[in-house]
């Protein structure tokens, strides 16, 4: 296995003079489970947006499996095996769950440029959508409109959308946000079932669920990395106690 899935070198981004990410360098190994920790405004989501291409970095280099992607169009990075979920749900409320999944599947298929291919005549597309919904336990709800599902179910669809793309690197932005205890356990089970070869980077505030998942933890504060290490190292670190846990 190649050593590195994602490598950031001296990546910076400011908004109108206010620095959001300051010279972040990060190396995440292939197949690793990494947690990004930090108080609100630490620059975690901005860092995700820089990696996905939602935002261009001001300076620095981002490599995905050794390939420089910091200037590459966002949709092309997806084709290299990068997928993400959003903190705020941005799905297609008027479409059914299956149709939501089909849009995700089409995003990587040449079929997306076909102006005469009717989805209804492509049973394999629906099969694949149903198979992914099965993985997150929503197959039975496949034909419900997204707007008619619960928030917890929408969170699972959000993850299913990313999983359906069979990514090599998956970025999860607060997958547990706003969920009940029971729903959290459900998501936890699904994340545990993600194949080992997929690299997962997660932003999460809920330490109980996140710590059980991640092997290594990076703590950001005011746009900079302050600590990086194993669970035990990070939890024991005085600076982390101070800026994050202690506060």
Partner 1 sequence: MIRALPVALSSLLLLAPALSPSDFYVNVATQILIAAIFALSLNLLVGYGGLISLGHAAYLGVSAYLTIWLVTRAGVGHLPAAAAAVVLTTAMSVLFGVLALRATGLGFLMITLALGQILWGLAYRWVSVTGGDNGLSGFDRPRPFGIDLASPRAFYLTTAAVFACAFVLMAVLVRSTFGAGLQGVRDQPRRMQALGWHVWMVRLVAFVAAGFWGAVAGVLYAYYNQFVSPHVLALTSSAEALLMVIAGGAGTLLGPVVGAVVVVMLKNVVSAYVTRWVLLLGLVFVAIVAFMPEGLVPGFDRLRRRRRRRTAGDA
Residues that bind partner 1 (CB under 8 A): 52-54, 73-75, 78-79, 83-84, 86, 90-92, 94, 99, 102-104, 106-109, 111-120, 122, 125, 161, 165
CB of 237 to partner 1, least distance (A): 33
Token output for 175: 């997958």
CB of 147 to partner 1, least distance (A): 12
Instruction: Decide whether 83 or 136 has the Cβ nearer to partner 1.
Output: 83
Helix/strand/coil (H/E/C) assignment for every residue in 26-76? EEEECCCEEEEECCCCCCHHHHHHHHHCCCCCCEEEEEECCEECCCCCHHH
CB of 138 to partner 1, least distance (A): 18
Instruction: Decide whether 37 or 69 has the Cβ nearer to partner 1.
Output: 69
CB of 100 to partner 1, least distance (A): 9
Q: Which residue has the tokens 């992607």?
A: 69
Instruction: Decide whether 153 or 237 has the Cβ nearer to partner 1.
Output: 153
Instruction: Decide whether 170 or 191 has the Cβ nearer to partner 1.
Output: 170
Q: In whole angstroms, what is the distance from residue 145 CA to residue 124 CA?
A: 21
Strand partners, 167: none
Instruction: Decide whether 61 or 109 has the Cβ nearer to partner 1.
Output: 109
Q: Which residue has the tokens 């190396």?
A: 27
CB of 76 to partner 1, least distance (A): 8
- DSSP states of 129-196 as a string? HHHHHHHTT-GGGTTSBGGGS-HHHHHHHHHHHHHHT--SEEEEE-TTTT--HHHHHHHHHHHHTS-T
């Amino acid at each position: 296995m190649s050593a590195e899935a994602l490598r950031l070198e001296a990546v910076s981004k400011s908004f109108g003079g206010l620095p959001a990410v300051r010279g972040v360098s990060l190396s995440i190994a292939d197949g690793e489970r990494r947690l990004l920790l930090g108080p609100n405004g630490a620059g975690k989501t901005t860092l995700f947006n820089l990696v996905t291409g939602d935002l261009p970095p001001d300076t620095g280099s981002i490599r995905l499996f050794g390939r420089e992607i910091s200037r590459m169009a966002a949709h092309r990075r997806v084709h290299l095996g990068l997928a993400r979920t959003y903190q705020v749900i941005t799905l297609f409320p008027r479409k059914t769950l299956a149709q939501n999944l089909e849009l995700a599947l089409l995003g990587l298929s040449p079929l997306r440029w076909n102006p005469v291919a009717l989805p209804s005549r492509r049973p394999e597309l629906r099969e694949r959508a149903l198979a992914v919904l099965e993985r997150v336990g929503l197959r039975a709800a496949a034909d419900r409109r997204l707007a008619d599902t619960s928030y917890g179910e929408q969170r699972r669809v959000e993850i299913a959308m990313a999983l359906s793309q069979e990514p090599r690197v998956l970025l999860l932005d607060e997958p547990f946000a706003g969920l009940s205890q029971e729903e959290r356990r459900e998501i936890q089970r699904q994340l545990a079932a993600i194949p080992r070869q997929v690299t997962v980077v997660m932003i999460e505030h809920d330490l109980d669920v996140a710590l059980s998942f991640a092997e290594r933890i990076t703590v950001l504060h005011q746009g900079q990395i302050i600590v990086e290490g194993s669970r035990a190292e990070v939890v024991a670190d005085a600076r982390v106690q101070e800026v994050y846990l202690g506060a």
